[in-house]
Structure 1
Amino acid sequence: MKTLGLIGGLSWFSTAVYYETINRIVGEKLGGGSSAKLILYSVDFKEFKALLDAGNWGQIELLLSGIAGRLEKAGADCLMMCSNTPHVVAELVKAKIGIPLLNIAEETAREIAGRRLGRVALLGTKFTMEQPFFKESLLKYGIQPVIPCAADRESINSSIFKELTKGVFRAETRAKYQAIIEALGNEGAEGVIFGCTEISRLISGADCRLPVFDTTAIHCKAAADFSLS
């Protein structure tokens, strides 16, 4: 079994989901009480959020690259960043290590391509919705991203950082997400990407009429598959 290197804490709530999900998949596939071999480095979310608010992507890249290097030296066979937003600098981090980086956007795009969908809504932080990294992965597979309007992007981003990353889940916030997803479906979206690892803790596929692509679940499955490859 290969050893996974996880950068977590972004937030710790979703990192706990990563840890549980990866171990559950490995246990189900191997049986006999098996669990995943992994090394976890948990970032101080307050420190990371301050860099985000300052738009200091250079320092974010240095922070994540440094951690990635430590995980590699500790024996990790691949790297995972357990959040969508840090993937803004994924290629820069990847260039500084000698092990594969399991890219959450790439894995999600591949999953959607397998379902043969051509237009998919993308929800996440404003960085995920507005920066090119996720859109480029989708376009590479011939998938057209459908992005919420500016007001809805701001509403989603605010709810993620003021509520979801703090473990706060409100019925009115869920209803707002449902309305946004419905509107994007009316604009031609054939599915919706939960492009923030916190969103699936607020709303599930049962709450949407569109097929849901949960990046956390997809990323965890890719990790378990790599571990057992």
Structure 2
Amino acid sequence: MLTADLFPEVPRLAPCSLCGSRGICSTCPRCELRRKLFTPVTQGETEALNQWWAVRQQEKAEGDRRRLERFKRFSTLQRPVRLALLGCSAKKAASPAPAESLYQGRFFRTSLLYARNVLLADEVFILSALHGLVALDEVIAPYERSLADAPKDERAAWAWRVGSMLDEKFVGLAVEAHFLAGQAYLPRVDSTTWTLRVPLAGLALGQRYRVLTKAIQSGVPL
């Protein structure tokens, strides 16, 4: 005889493929996954998810606004955008700060001075092992991570990710990028409108510092 389903709104679980239970077995790892799947979302979790989504939408809108402003500003140059890509530094401030203040290494400070006063870069970005591409005014917290000793596949994935970020920021524009960082931080940009210049290729850190210092003193870009 068929019996009425007293609780039709409650989903019926199929037997667990690991322990065979039709309910939730507290000692079964697969049942623990089933419990999470069928546990109703709380009001607090819903509100947190909505807040997260709102923040992501605001960030996207801000990114779109900056991208449009960048295109309008640089499309009238009548030449490629002169972009400086600086390497991050191990020496950092002790608390969150705008990126140009957070990184305190000697070579980073010298690279920034060169990019602004000698290269006269239209835009400057920092290549971060953790964050990828960082704007000078972006506030970030200190961290400990480097690509220098990272596995080859991790560096390759990072290079593609940062290359995509760069391509997205300068879509529709010709770019002359000046790479002023260690070889491990070289991004992979797959665009025919980009020219990548590596004036410090093959030099050790101390040599790169001396070359940039001389360029600053002479006022002649590399």
After TM superposition, the score normalised by the length of structure 2 is 0.37
- Structure with bigger gyration radius: 2
Structure with the higher fraction of residues in helix conformation: 1
